[in-house]
Amino acid sequence: MNNTPTDIIFITDLRADAIIGIYERERHIKQTISIDLELAAPIKEAARQDRVEATLNYKLLSKRVEAFIQQSEFQLVETLAEHLAQLIIEEFSVPWLKLTLHKVGALSNSGDVGVRIIRQKT
C-alpha cells in the first residue's frame, strides 16, 4: 500500500523575516523566508462534523510557524527546514508533510532558491 496520504491541507507562500545565512552581512539583517506546506490531515471526519476542532487548524499552525521563523537565527536554510518540520509533526500531530522553504532574493541571478523536504512521524 502506498504511504502517501490521501487528504492534504496546504499553505503556500507563508512569509516571515529571519536572521539566516552564513555570511557576516546576513547575520545583521532580517531576510524574507517563504514556506509552502503540504500536510497530511484526514479530513473526512472534520467534514462530517463541520467543526474546526476535528481537523488541522491551519491558522494556528501558520501563526506558530511564523513566530518560529521570526525567532530563529540559523545559518542554513536546511537547518531551518528540518526544525520546522519537526515542530509541525510534534506540536500538530501531523503524520506526513512536504515543506518547501524559499530564501527570497538570495540570488540576484535566480528567480528562487531553497530546499524541499518530505518528513513523516516516526
- Hey, what amino acid is at 51? R
Torsion over CA: 3, 52, 15, 69 (sign): negative
Q: Kindly report the pTM of this predicted structure.
A: 0.90
Q: Between residues 55 and 68, which one has the greater pLDDT?
A: 68
CA distance linking residue 56 with residue 117, whole number of Å? 20
Question: What letter represents residue 97's amino acid?
Answer: L
Determine the pLDDT at residue 5: 55
Measured between alpha carbons, how far is 14 from 66 in angstroms, rounded to an integer? 8
Identify the structural domains of the chain with CATH numbers, from first to last.
36-120 (3.30.1130.10)
Query: 62-80 pLDDT, tens per residue?
Result: 999 999 999 999 999 999 9
- Spatial contact of 120 and 95, defined as CB atoms under 8 Å apart: yes
63 is catalytic: no
Say which of 30, 98, 103, 121 is annotated catalytic. Answer: 103
